[in-house]
Amino acid sequence: MEAIVAALGGTAWTLVFFVIALSVIVFVHEYGHYIVGRWSGIHSEVFSVGFGPVLFSRTDKRGTRWQFAAIPFGGYVKFMGDADASSVRQGDVSGMSVEERRHTMAGAPLWARSATVAAGPVFNFILTFFLLVGLALFVGAPREEPTVGTMRAFPFEGPTLQQNDVILSVEGQATPDWETFRSVTEALKGNVALAYEVRRDDEVLTVNGPHPLAPVVGEVQIRSAAMDAGIVEGDIILKAGGQDVRYFDQLPEIVAASKGQPVALTVWRNGESFEVSLSPRIRTVDDGSGGFTERYLLGLYSGMFFEPAVRSVGPWEAVSGAGSSMWLMTTTTFSGLWHMIQGAISSCNLSGAIGMAETAGDAARNGAQSFIGMLAILSFGVGLLNLFPIPVLDGGHLVFHAYEAVTGRAPSDRALRVLMTIGLSLVLTIMLFGLSRDLLCQ
């Protein structure tokens, strides 16, 4: 993917990968509506990815027209008997038989309509789940024993650690697992180089190496000052704000002291040093106690001078990890929204279409793994948003169905028209507000 990204210009690749991400998510969402509707006996007349003029279409043996349209920012399924793609208002069905009406959305039983509507968000959640499981199975997890994977370029002279070395101790202190390794090396801050006892093949030997908490960039946050400045994974920060940097955790203090003013960095990469100036951006982060706080950040995450060796992940571990990640997404989303409503965090944490496009482009720039992770998060967000009880969204349709289940009758056409107008206005307002955040927030 990196080669594809490099071949495209900045704006071009942002648009291309945003369209790819959106098309996948929309297709899965609408396919959920389509397939559950089909299983429930509701006939789909049109399955469209995109809006506007049709570029390509094909009608299958069931009579559903599958099409790609010119405006690739959305999609829809039009069921038999619908007046439009919203599946709320019914068209002229006066000439239909009772059996034919059963295959329309309006004529189907309430359970079939509700299942069909709910299937769109549910399929988004299913996509997120399978993407997270797939990532876990593909990427793996660090081995229990601290083991060296790929070595990163580092300005260190002399023999040092090698790939597949198992670190038995650091400065004579045993390190049987990663938690102990981290606590031991944290206590040894102050030493630029450390003595590592390692098991290499069939022998045990002692070698020197850099401190693992050295200022190595382990990951660059998407849509950050660091990514815009061209900082990449594996870079080493030698100086920040004119100060020598020996450990990564010195960076947050230097950046915070800048109060948003540009911070000059001296960066070492593959044997060469260069200067770059970054303007920290204020971001809302978890304060560790269930709340949020705003900090000036460059968008850098710490790494080590080597990547940990990984092991294969079993199916159950991957499934449970994906479930935990989705639960964390849910709680974080609602907590963030609640704090935003209270005014505890800035509305600049919201993104509109431009922000989502930039996120897709930056994730693609970081590689396939980052792009797939972003796709999982975005699909989850689309599914969750569609469950909000707003007319024109799937959640609004389910509210109408709940009203029908309680009262025994569907809302009147006049009420539906008014509610749909209100819902559409609300959705457009939210979209415009998100767009304003993209344009006004840095």
Domain ranges of the chain: 2-138+380-440, 143-210, 216-307
12-55 pLDDT, tens per residue? 767 888 888 989 999 999 999 999 999 999 999 999 998 889 99
CB-based contacts of 135-138 (< 8 A; 24+ apart in sequence): 135/369, 135/372, 135/373, 135/376, 136/313, 136/317, 136/318, 136/321, 136/322, 137/312, 137/313, 137/315, 137/318, 138/369
Q: How would residue 274 be classed by pLDDT, with cut points 50, 70 and 90?
A: very high
145-187 pLDDT, tens per residue? 999 999 999 988 888 999 999 999 999 999 999 999 999 999 9
What is the percentage of the chain residues whose pLDDT exceeds 70?
91
- Is 30 one of the catalytic residues? yes
- What is the structure's pLDDT at 132? 96
- What is the structure's pLDDT at 6? 47
Residue 5 has pLDDT above 50, yes or no: no
90-136 pLDDT, tens per residue? 555 667 888 888 888 888 999 999 999 999 999 999 999 999 999 99
User: Averaged over 371-386, what is the pLDDT?
Assistant: 93
Pick the catalytic residue from 30, 157, 186, 203: 30
Dist CA 30 CA 77 (whole Å): 6
Do 143-210 and 216-307 show the same overall fold? Answer: yes
Q: How would residue 197 be classed by pLDDT, with cut points 50, 70 and 90?
A: very high
Q: Which CATH number fits domain 143-210: 3.30.530.20, 3.90.1150.10, 2.30.42.10, 1.20.140.10?
A: 2.30.42.10
- What is the structure's pLDDT at 439? 77
- What is the structure's pLDDT at 8? 46
**pTM of the predicted model, to two decimals?**
0.85
Dist CA 220 CA 302 (whole Å): 9
Residue 290 has pLDDT above 80, yes or no: no
384-412 pLDDT, tens per residue? 999 999 988 999 999 999 999 999 988 88
Q: How would residue 7 be classed by pLDDT, with cut points 50, 70 and 90?
A: very low
The per-residue pLDDT of the chain, averaged, comes to 87
- Residue keyed to tokens 């329309």: 104
CATH of domain 216-307: 2.30.42.10
Q: How would residue 354 be classed by pLDDT, with cut points 50, 70 and 90?
A: confident
